[in-house]
Amino acid sequence: MNKNLFVVVKKTFRFQKKDLFSEKIEENLIDVFNLNDSIEFIFGNLVGEYFKIDKNILRINQDLYLYQDLTIKKELFIAHNDISIITKIGKLIKGDIYIGGNYINSLPSEEMDKLIRTFPNSYEIKKYVEARLSVILNDYFDNITDAKQKYDKYMNTKVSAQGINLIDMFKESELTKYITIRSKLSQMLNNEVEYNEKRWQIEILQILLLLFPKYIFVFKEVKIKDIYSNKNRYLDYLLVDSTGTVDIVEIKKPFDSCIVTKNQFRDNYIPMKELSGTVMQIEKYIFYLNKWGKSGEDYLTDRYKDKLPNNFRIKITNPNGIIVMGRESGLSEEQLLDFEVIKRKYKNVVDIITYDDMIGRLNMIIEQLNEKNFE
């Protein structure tokens, strides 16, 4: 056998003449493969607690280290249709590959077993192809078999990858955060007379941003254009989310009687002037912003460019409003019901949040964090 000749076994192992097993067996060599009881090759040698498999045999860019207690079998290396599992792993890892044992960057043997079990077989590949085809053909033909549903159903029976449980990881810090917010809000509501209007708004705005983390920028006293009267209007606060889309927020101190009337009008409790006036105000601001359009986007982007990331653009796309005001404590069941009707009437434009609602949301978040781990 010429020393440059080689033989490939199962499309995975490449043995050369130098790998032939001789009669002189050295102490730390292992013999794994026996081909028709006629040719034997040296597959690896023991280095410490690991068998080192030469990268040239596996045709990868790094050496493979197998823990000495591992059961070395064909399935460890070869999947369906003689696909080399180790070759696939080698393309994703830069350093040497360790499997089993206590090496710091070793893949646990049980995880390797799971990987082998989840490696796609011929049936799974067939179902995947059918699923992809059905998704495309479904737009053009009637009565297409829902192959995607069958594929998803099959895949749900298989062991799935499982990442770090982020809820568990951040649970304690999140609990601390929301308990602290609730405590601060309760303290503020018990001592509201100590705050002036501006300071109250700033404090509540901090809480809002923690409850609605999609907003990444807040600009105060924002000048907008009323193109109909050719006047400038001023928003207390303009919220900007991660996409650049803007919303408006109005924050009022929690006066007791500003939500619904104490007396009924034709068997209904109707919104107080403070509430209806604030809703009207925010709807007009939204109207002005929408009519301002692209020129408004250009103005706001340029006005706040020093506070925005490079190439970040402010967008006016049907803004919504948030109103924070009033208390629900002391309202009757009938008043609360009618107030819910009022809130839902404006839901597509304005989210009306009372301070008791904020406390309720915080209570629910804390309760969910305490009870669920989202496994």
pLDDT tens track for 75-89: 778 776 777 777 878
User: Over 80: is that where the pLDDT of 303 sits?
Assistant: yes
By DSSP bridging, strand 246-251 and strand 321-324 are parallel
227: which 2 tokens? Answer: 């193109």
Q: Rounded to two decimals, what is the model's pTM?
A: 0.58
More confident residue, 350 or 183: 183
Q: Look up residue 207 and give its DSSP letter.
A: H
Q: What confidence tier does 30 reach under pLDDT thresholds 50, 70, 90?
A: very low
**In the chain, where does DSSP find H-type helix?**
55-58, 85-90, 109-118, 122-137, 147-155, 166-190, 197-211, 273-303, 333-345, 355-371
Is 314 a residue whose pLDDT tops 90? Answer: yes
Rounded to the nearest angstrom, the gap between the alpha carbon of residue 135 and the centroid of all alpha carbons in its chain is 25
Lowest mean pLDDT among 133-147, 243-257, 302-316, 340-354: 133-147
pLDDT band for position 276 (cuts 50, 70, 90) = confident
- For residue 141, the model assigns a pLDDT of 66
| Residue 29 clears pLDDT 50, i.e. is over it | no
* Long-range own/partner contacts, residues 169-178 (CB < 8 A, 24 or more apart): 171/369, 171/373, 174/369, 175/366, 175/369, 175/370, 177/210, 178/362, 178/365, 178/366, 178/369
Question: For residue 26, is pLDDT > 50?
Answer: no
d(CA 279, CA 266): 22
Instruction: Assign 24 a pLDDT band (cuts: 50, 70, 90).
Output: very low
pLDDT at residue 337 is higher than 90? no
**Two tokens, residue 108:** 């646990």
Placement of tokens 């100590």 in the chain:
194
Q: Return the ∠ at Cα 125 (arms to 12 and 55), rounded to 5°.
A: 20
- C-beta separation of 58 from 90 below 8 A: yes
- Report yes or no: 210 and 181 within 8 Å, Cβ to Cβ: yes
Instruction: Spell out a b/e string for 213-227, using b for 16 or more CB atoms within 10 Å of the CB, else e.
Output: eebebbbeebebbee
Asked whether the beta carbons of 77 and 71 are under 8 A apart, the reply is no
Q: Residue 144's pLDDT is what? A: 67
* pLDDT, greater one: 332 or 44: 44
339 pLDDT above the threshold of 60: yes
Residue (of 254, 280, 265) closest to 334 by Cα position: 265
Instruction: Note the pLDDT tens digit of each residue in 215-255.
Output: 999 999 999 999 888 899 999 999 999 999 999 999 988 87
What is the per-residue pLDDT across 172-205, written as a single tens digit (0 to 9) for each?
Answer: 889 999 999 999 999 999 888 888 989 999 999 9
